């Protein structure tokens, strides 16, 4: 059988979203010191790109209150790019004052989702982001763009890949160094992933794209495999599977970093993360949050063989 090569990149960059996208979607509210400790523990695992907070209104998102203190607390922790979500100019100013070197803006590929999530349509959101991205870039900050609903929308259903392409290129044109493609409701399957990425790669270099999968339908790792095969080398994930989309409450959310790292190890792809320490960090934060670990790798690695098994097991 003459099959095509498996085609995998030699190394990837992991973007850990647990302390922001993760914690933001947990019901417990942690103080800034606890969040700092959590973020630092993740850095100690070898993660080099970590979402640390969001400069949003604390009444709307209490989980992200005092993100300025989190960022200030992490100022000594160099060698890591601490990213913070910034929705507007006011947030940008506060982020810069707190020492931010990397920020993220958040768009959607669905009109209805954009309206629900950030209270304006797609075109208006891009215009608003201009007031954030351009001054941020002028200040020497790195800006990452998120595009949600790239595989489907909880309101509109299927999302036109042309819309995804348009929003991505608009954000890049504004000055974003990378776009994270979010399958917000986890509906994508690997062929859709491959097709979307192939389409984007005809316009944008692979290094400017990242994938952000949710495991709601169990497809996240298969989608990541398809993305890797297509040439993607940046993967967003959340330790212990923290967080998720509040539009699908109770659904499993972000793919767990532990499970991604396990797969990458098996694929022989370099990532620089210590899986044992990561499992530990995930368990620790889940204890604090009083919620179960959503990483299968973490759950599997605490189990011991049954001393008295039945026969005929496959």
How far apart are alpha carbons 44 and 206 in whole angstroms? 28
Helix axes 275-289, 257-267, angle to 10 degrees: 170
Q: Which of residues 39-58 bind a second copy (CB under 8 A)?
A: 54, 56
CB of 287 vs a second copy, minimal distance in Å: 19
Catalytic: which of 149, 176, 245, 286?
245
**Are the C-beta atoms of residues 113 and 148 closer than 8 Å to each other?**
yes
Least Cβ distance, residue 111 to a second copy (angstroms): 16
Examine residue 157 and tell whether it contacts a second copy (CB under 8 A): no
Tell how far CA 229 is from the center of its chain.
Answer: 19
Is 268 a binder of a second copy (CB under 8 A)? yes
Among 251, 274, 280, 288, binds a second copy (CB under 8 A): 251
Could you tell me the CA-to-CA distances from 1 to 4, 5, 7, 8, 225 in Å, in that order? 10, 12, 17, 20, 22
Find out whether 176 and 145 touch, Cβ atoms under 8 Å.
Answer: yes
* Stretch touching a second copy by CB under 8 A, among 39-47, 67-75, 136-144, 182-190: 182-190
Interface residues for a second copy in 109-148 (CB under 8 A)?
A: 116-119, 146, 148
Residue 245 known to be catalytic: yes
**In this structure, what token pair is assigned to residue 97?**
């004052």
Binding letters toward a second copy, positions 214-233, x by CB under 8 A? -xxxxx-xx-xxx--xxx--
Considering the complex, what minimum distance in angstroms separates the CB of residue 284 from a second copy?
Answer: 20
* Contact set for a second copy, span 60-99 (CB under 8 A): 60-61, 64, 85, 87
User: Which residues, in sequence order, are CB contacts of 261 under 8 Å at separation 6+?
Assistant: 14, 271, 273, 275, 278, 297
Contacts to a second copy from residues 272-301, by CB under 8 A: 295-297, 299-300
Active site residues: 245
């Amino acid at each position: 059988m003459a099959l095509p090569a498996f085609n995998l990149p030699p190394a990837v960059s992991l973007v850990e979203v647990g302390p922001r996208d993760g914690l933001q979607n947990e019901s417990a509210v942690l103080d800034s010191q606890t969040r700092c400790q959590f973020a630092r523990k993740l850095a100690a695992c070898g993660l080099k790109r970590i979402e640390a907070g969001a400069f949003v209104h604390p009444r709307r998102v209490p989980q992200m209150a005092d993100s300025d203190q989190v960022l200030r607390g992490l100022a000594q922790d160099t060698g890591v790019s601490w990213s913070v979500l910034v929705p507007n100019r006011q947030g940008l100013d506060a982020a810069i004052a707190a020492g931010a070197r990397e920020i993220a803006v958040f768009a959607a590929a669905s009109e209805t989702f954009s309206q629900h999530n950030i209270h304006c349509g797609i075109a208006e959101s891009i215009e608003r982001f201009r007031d954030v991205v351009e001054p941020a870039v002028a200040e020497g900050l790195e800006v990452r763009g998120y595009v949600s609903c790239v595989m489907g929308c909880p309101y509109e259903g299927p999302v036109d890949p042309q819309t995804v392409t348009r929003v991505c290129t608009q954000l890049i044109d504004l000055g974003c160094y990378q776009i994270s493609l979010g399958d917000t409701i986890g509906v994508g399957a690997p062929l859709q992933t491959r097709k979307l990425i192939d389409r984007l790669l005809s316009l944008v270099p692979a290094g400017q794209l990242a994938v952000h999968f949710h495991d709601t339908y169990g497809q996240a790792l298969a989608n990541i495999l398809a993305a890797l095969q297509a040439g993607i080398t940046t993967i967003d994930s959340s330790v212990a599977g923290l967080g998720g989309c509040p539009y699908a409450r109770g659904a499993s959310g972000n793919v767990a970093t532990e499970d991604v790292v396990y797969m990458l190890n098996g694929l022989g792809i370099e990532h620089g993360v210590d899986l044992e320490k990561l499992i530990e960090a995930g368990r620790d934060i889940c204890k604090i949050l009083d919620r179960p670990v959503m990483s299968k790798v973490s759950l599997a690695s605490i189990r011991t063989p049954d001393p008295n098994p039945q026969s005929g097991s496959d």
